[in-house]
Amino acid sequence: MMNSKLKEYIQKLESGFDSIPDARKENLKKLSDYVKAKTENNQVAKLNFICTHNSRRSHLAQIWTAVAAHHFGIENIETYSGGTEATAFNPRAVAAIERAGFKVGNPGGDNPRYRVTFSEDVEPLICFSKKFDDNVNPDTSFAAVMTCSDADENCPFVPGTEFRISVTYRDPKESDGTDKEKETYDERCVQIAAEMFYMMSNA
């Protein structure tokens, strides 16, 4: 069972689908079609969200897609994330999901393995920065979802991918250290959440 704060957040997401530009909807539906084709054939749809540092956008997409799959009752979905290099799940992005209603456990360290909980009925997601080919990520028969243009351009080949799509987002890092920091991270969190929910609603 999800907590009331997260439920309210999700209700607002679904009412905001009309604000997603048509061009992005068309692109997201391509990913929906991939997921649908896999699940209708009783196969697991493995989605690996990739950005440069695996610190912000790719984690947000991984987390919200897992929540959306649970929300819509879509089984055989596994979500992952990775980068072209590893750093850490940025604390500002972690704070944004906490404000959205997630419970986050932080064990500390340079690259913490955060425990992200969105429902009492689902095991927490273990989120930490890693390369896209880390051994915790799939190495075959998965979709590579490129969430930043830099990673998309600098990583033209992702081994093991059977489907690749570019669903890029502006980096909230640009607001770090400014008075717009919290607002920017919350805006990006909402945008990614809404689009992943829209995507999964069509799967």
Q: Please state the rounded mean pLDDT for residues 129-140.
A: 97
User: Is the confidence at residue 149, as pLDDT, over 90?
Assistant: no
Note whether 191 and 168 are within 8 A (CB): no
The per-residue pLDDT for 75 is 93
| pTM summary value | 0.97
For the chain, what is the mean pLDDT? Answer: 95
Q: What is the CATH number of the domain that holds 56?
A: 3.40.50.2300
The per-residue pLDDT for 96 is 98
Identify the domain containing residue 172 by its residue range.
Answer: 4-201
**Three-state SS letters, the chain:** CCCHHHHHHHHHHHHCHHHCCHHHHHHHHHHHHHHHHHHHCCCCEEEEEEECCCCCHHHHHHHHHHHHHHHCCCCCEEEEEEECCCCCCCHHHHHHHHHHCCEEECCCCCCCCEEEECCCCCCCEEECCCECCCCCCCCCCEEEEECCHHHHHHCCCCCCEEEEEECCCCCHHHHCCCCCHHHHHHHHHHHHHHHHHHHHHCC
Q: What tokens were used for 127?
A: 């989120």
Q: Please state the rounded mean pLDDT for residues 117-143.
A: 96
The per-residue pLDDT for 156 is 76
User: Confidence class of residue 125 from pLDDT cuts 50, 70 and 90?
Assistant: very high
Q: In what order do the strands lie in the sheet with 103-105?
A: 103-105, 114-117, 125-127
The per-residue pLDDT for 155 is 75
The per-residue pLDDT for 90 is 97
User: Is the confidence at residue 154, as pLDDT, over 80?
Assistant: no
Q: Please state the rounded mean pLDDT for residues 116-142.
A: 96
The per-residue pLDDT for 150 is 84
Q: Please state the rounded mean pLDDT for residues 132-141.
A: 96
- How does pLDDT run across 162-174, given as a tens digit for each residue? 999 999 999 999 9
The per-residue pLDDT for 11 is 93
| Domains contained in the chain, number | 1
- How does pLDDT run across 94-110, given as a tens digit for each residue? 999 999 999 999 999 99
User: Is the confidence at residue 27, as pLDDT, over 90?
Assistant: yes
The per-residue pLDDT for 1 is 81
